[in-house]
Structure 1
Amino acid sequence: MTNKRPSGRSILANFGSFSEPEATTADPSPPKAARAETPIQSTPRVGAGVIGATQRSLAELREERDRLQALVDAGGGSELDPSSIDPSPFPDRLPDDSQVSFEALKKLIAEEGQKVPIQVRRHPDVSGRYQVVYGHRRWRAALDLGIKIKATVVALSDSELVVAQGIENAAREDLSWIERALFAWRMDQADIKPRDIRAALSVDDPELARLRAVCRVIPIEVIEAIGRAPKAGRPRWVALSTAVGEDPAALDRVRKTLSADKVSTLASDERFKLVFAAVRKPPARSHNELELRSPAGKVLGKATFLKGDIKLTVSDKHASEFGAFFEEELPGLVERFFARDGTE
């Protein structure tokens, strides 16, 4: 269900911008303010836009953030049972390859307590429940530890919620490109207005078009199977979607690659590399024979490729030793072949 936000206020008028990060690398999520359910004095508008359709300056947003932080410090926040809280209806993250940073955060909270409140809104459909606006990792940590969680309860529509998440992510700058594309796709599915999607992601129309295009071509379940792939930026994802769009058989090769047991255990960047290799068409051979030469350039033999038939001929001088070498290396070549193409 999409909630309509009140008229006469810009989206960003309802929450603040970036707080100073907590003094630890274990929890990179900084607090930011929102339109709290405890009244806050309104702030005059400024003329320049901040992100896309917004009409508030970053300085003004920070000022409003500081007001709400003062309210929290004075006891304006709440302590909630984490089991009464649900994640955001607009997931913006794929699972991490490693849980090391999360475990470090959980240990820190267990030893020193929760320093920074999360932000939640009341669930629009279920009485007595809440939804996370930002602070998912702190919420998960509290849930695992079985402790209450400090939270600021704000009143946000769906559109305001996604922009709040977008500002939170922009502050950390750790969403991978494909996670941003998935976030845009999920907002599209929920009928969030394009101007609000641009504001949430701080992108212009051409970049939003690229984010959408990749998710239109590559099925969501395939993207989720690849994962965050933080090193695979926009050019490689766009190239991957172009290859899949141009070759109807490419998607089958991608799915076969991802279905291999060994592939599922790899880091997401490695999974992306294998998928990227699988969609590339092998270069057309100009001839059916390939000469085998030594590093010095002497002809060792030749390989002949015909329909379903591969012949390898080696000179008498090297036949015995090369045959033994080839027999030893062949299992490894077969394994590399299956890992590259995902062939069964």
Structure 2
Amino acid sequence: MTDSKKKRMSMLDSLAAAGTSSAPGSMMSSNRALRSARDAVDAHHVWELDPVEIQDERYSDRLDPKDVHDLRASIEQNGQTVPILVRRHPTDPNRYLLVYGRRRLEAIRASDKVSKVRALIANLDDTAALRAQVSENTGRRDLSYIERALFAQELLDSGFGSQAQIAEVLNVTRSAVSMSVSVAKAIGTALAHAIGPAHGVGRPRWEALAKELSDSRIDIDELSQVALDVRAQAVVSEQAGGDPKVDPSVAAFEAVARHIKKSVSPTLGKKPRSKTTALVIDGTPVGAIKRSGRALRLDLTDVDDAFAEWLDARAQEVLEELHDRWKRET
């Protein structure tokens, strides 16, 4: 193998090695996917392709792709240093399908100075191409929780495979895929796109937002507008010299969460009223049950000592029986 060919073949090896220090526990699967793509490359040389010959039919895994303006300027000034990866179109010999490198492809498409895109061509099926796409992206920058959740939902809805197969591709457990899909469905694509990736907002907060959203029955369009307004304000603030470290999508997430809480809370400044119901046994008052907010308190003040001891010993059992009865009836 010539030195130039070795150099070209090592490009994907370099990608496979990227990011190992930041996510050592998940990189074994990523490395395998990228090395499989590397082994499938038709690496006689790096091809120069017309961007119009390349189609991007991949599953979307980014909510807020970075602007390609700066990348276009860099490529126009310094050239395209890292090739994209494409695979041959299954029916059209004159076209290619993008595996990864979307931002580089878009930057060159938008340029009036660079007309060709440098690309490696690999022989990959749909599954292998998807694995390479996921591995290359997560090796460079981890997807946020909601991006992974929407990605998993799209794969499931499109018939790509079972939850177990999707879990293998994403290098997570099946239960994690199941929970992610439920969160994605509760949040909805429109609201998720309005909020953005919200890097740093993890699974527990997205799950809490999904539950609050389900309980509130608030209009999704209203929440989406809240998110979009906050993100627009963040852009204006940054242009005016504001803190560039503030993530607009995180600010949008927090604004939506506050809006939901405010909408479902009682009148501001007033505590929710408590409700007390008297309890009677054989016609004799024995206490009361009091509900305040989400708390439920049972006070038995005048019952037979033997019954009190019996109930005390079996309280957990009785509670579970009542809960099962509630589930059956509702």
1:203 to 172, 177, 183: 172
The 5 A counterparts of 1:112-123 are 112-123=78-89
Which residue does the alignment assign to 2:325?
none
> Partner of 2:139: helix, strand, or coil?
helix
Separation in 2, partners of 1:76, 1:197? 33
Pairing partner for 2:71 from 85, 105, 124? 105
Which amino acid in 1 is paired with 2:14? Answer: E
Among 89, 92, 95, the alignment partner of 2:64 is 95
1:180 aligns to what SS in structure 2?
helix
Write the deviation string for residues 200-225 of structure 1: whole angstroms up to 9, x where unpaired.
21111121112101111112111111
Question: Of 90, 98, 104, which residue of structure 2 is paired with 1:138?
Answer: 104
2:179 corresponds to 1:185: no
SS in 2 for 1:187: helix
Residue 272 of structure 1 deviates from its aligned partner by 1.0
Q: Does 1:239 align with 2:233?
A: no
Preserved contact between residue 17 and residue 62 of structure 1 (Cα < 8 Å):
no
For residue 253 of structure 1, report the CA deviation from its aligned partner. Answer: 4.8
Q: 1:238, CA displacement in angstroms?
A: 1.2
Gaps of 5+ in 2: 1-8, 21-27, 235-247, 274-330
TM-score (norm 1): 0.59
> Amino acid of the residue matched to residue 133 of structure 1?
V
Report if aligned partners of 1:226, 1:271 keep a CA contact under 8 Å in 2: yes
Relative to its length, the structure with more helix (as a share) is 2
Shift of 1:104: 3.5
Amino acid corresponding to residue 265 of structure 2 in structure 1: P
The one-character-per-residue Cα deviations of 1:141-184 (angstroms, maximum 9, x if unpaired) are: 22122421111222333222221211112212332111111211
The one-letter amino acid paired with 1:213 is S
Which of the residues 13, 20, 26 maps onto 1:19? 13
2:181 & 2:255 partners in 1: Cα distance? 23
Counterpart in the other structure of 1:7: none
3-state DSSP of counterpart to 1:20: helix
Within 1, Cα distance between the matches of 2:10 and 2:58?
Answer: 21
User: Using a 3 Å threshold, how does the CA distance of structure 1 residues 167 and 125 change in structure 2: closer, same or farther?
Assistant: same
Closer, same or farther: CA 212–206 of 1 in aligned 2, 3 Å: same
Q: Which has the higher contact order (CA 8 A, sep 6+)?
A: 1
Is residue 84–residue 101 contact of structure 2 (8 Å, CA) maintained in 1? Answer: yes
**When the two structures are aligned, how many residues end up with a matched partner?**
238
Name the aligned partner's letter for residue 19 of structure 1.
D
AA in 2 matched with 1:197: I
Residue identity opposite 1:222 in structure 2: L
Residue number in structure 1 paired with 2:265: 282
Q: Does residue 268 of the first structure (1) align with residue 249 of the second (2)? A: yes
Residues 80 and 151, structure 1, Cα contact 8 Å, conserved in 2:
yes
Q: Does 1:164 align with 2:147?
A: no
Structure 1 unaligned runs (5+)? 1-14, 23-27, 31-49, 52-56, 289-344
Deviations 1:193-246 (A, max 9, x none): 134322321111121112101111112111111111112222211111111122
* TM-score after normalising by structure 2: 0.61
**Structure 2 counterpart SS, 1:132:** strand
The AA in structure 1 aligned to 2:98 is V
Aligned-CA RMSD value = 3.5
Counting aligned pairs with the same residue, the percent is: 29
Q: 1:244 to 1:151 in 2, by over 3 A?
A: same
